[in-house]
Amino acid sequence: MAGYLLIESHDPFENNIVARQYDLAVNLVKEGNQVTLFLVQNGVLPARPGTCSSLLTNTARAGVEVLADDFSLRERGIAPSRLTDGIKAAPLSIVIDYLADGRKAIWH
């Protein structure tokens, strides 16, 4: 089992590849890997309940750890207490911690 860290900096409204990155995370879990999807910058926008939020909720329900950068949330006025189901706020430092753990990191 390998560990992956997928960092998503785009939101699905602006970039069609974003949903495929979510799918990649789910498929990596299905292959037996440990996967975290870390949302940063505009990547946190679907963490606010909206039309694209179900994509993230389904990703989390599939076994992907979905985290949203707390700084990016604050910048965009999204309260960590009001995130869509399955998503947790986390500090950016968790990226460094996961790099130290040897996770394979992919930035999009």
Partner 1 sequence: MSKTFTFALMDAPFENARSTTALRLIDLAIKRGYNVNVFAYEGAVYLPFAKQAQHANAVHGRSVEEENHPLPRAWIAAIMNEAAGKGIKVDWVNCGLCVDERGAGEAIDGVRRGGPADFWKFAESSDNTLVIGTK
Binding site for partner 1 (CB under 8 A): 7, 9, 40-42, 71, 92-93, 95-97, 99-100, 102-103, 105, 107-108
The residue (of 39 and 86) whose beta carbon lies closer to partner 1 is 39
Instruction: Report whether 9 contacts 42 (CB < 8 A).
Output: yes
Q: Cβ(14)–Cβ(43) under 8 Å?
A: no
Contacts of 65 (CB under 8 A, 6+ apart): 35, 36, 37
CB of 50: closest distance to partner 1 in angstroms? Answer: 20
Least separation in angstroms between residue 54's CB and partner 1 is: 25
Q: How far is the CB of 18 from partner 1 (least distance, A)?
A: 12
Q: How far is the CB of 78 from partner 1 (least distance, A)?
A: 15
Tell me the torsion sign for CA atoms 60, 71, 98, 10. positive
Burial 27-46 (b: 16+ CB within 10 A, else e): ebbeeebbbbbbbbbbbbbb
